[in-house]
Amino acid sequence: MKKLIIINGPNLNLLGKRETNIYGNLSFSDFFERISNKYPNVTLEHYQSNVEGELIDKIQEVGYHYDGIILNAAAYTHTSIGIGDAVKAISTPVIEVHISNTFSREEFRHKSYISPNARGVVLGFGLQSYELAIQSFLD
Ligand code: DQA
């Protein structure tokens, strides 16, 4: 059984009420319940923090024995050398995910400190981006 974790960064705890025109109406907990039921053969966990260092701690904690990390570092994607370094340091593969198409938005969202060390990047498919990332770990 594959062991995967979704790690969400700042403000993603507000999904469902935050800029719903961009991020949709569904809360992450409702979405997480849906995908957990859909992939019963995967051990799927979820962690969210608004704090950069806590995200780094979690990446280090899981990064040597989980089968995959699905990481939406949110705004820290565009600013955090520390999260980028953590992704580089670990052995577990990371898929970078974004709900929105960051390349169709402001220029400051075009830069990612995660992408150079990610196995792949999925963006712009709404919450389905997470699901496509999960599928990439399945045979
Ligand atoms: C996001 C895109 C980021 O630019 C933004 O700061 C977010 C969410 C996304 O999932 O589309 O908070 O990572």
- Which CATH number does the domain housing residue 83 bear? 3.40.50.9100
Cβ pair 55, 130 in contact under 8 A: no
Q: What is the pLDDT of residues 35-74, one digit of tens each?
A: 999 999 999 999 999 999 999 999 999 999 999 999 999 9
Whether the CB of 26 sits within 6 Å of ligand 1: no
**pTM of structure:** 0.97
Question: 4 CB contacts (<8 Å, ≥6 apart)?
Answer: 42, 43, 44, 45, 66, 67, 68, 69, 70, 134, 137
Minimum CA distance residue for ligand 1 atom 7: 74
Residue 136 near ligand 1, beta carbon < 6 Å: no
Residue minimizing CA distance to atom 8 of ligand 1 = 74
121 lines ligand 1 (CB under 6 A): no
> What's the 42 CA to ligand 1 centre distance in angstroms?
25
Domain that holds residue 79: 2-138
E-only strand ranges, the chain: 2-8, 42-48, 68-72, 94-98, 120-123
**Residue nearest to ligand 1 atom 6, measured at CA:** 75
Number of Cβ within 10 Å of residue 123's Cβ equals 20
For ligand 1, whether the C-beta of 98 sits within 6 Å is yes
Cβ 113 vs Cβ 90: under 8 Å: no
The whole-number pLDDT of residue 139 equals 74
d(C-alpha 52, C-alpha 105), whole Å: 23
Number of structural domains the chain divides into: 1
CB atoms inside a 10 Å sphere around CB 93: 18
Q: Ligand 1 centre and the CA of 121: distance in Å?
A: 13
In the chain, which residues have pLDDT < 50? Answer: none
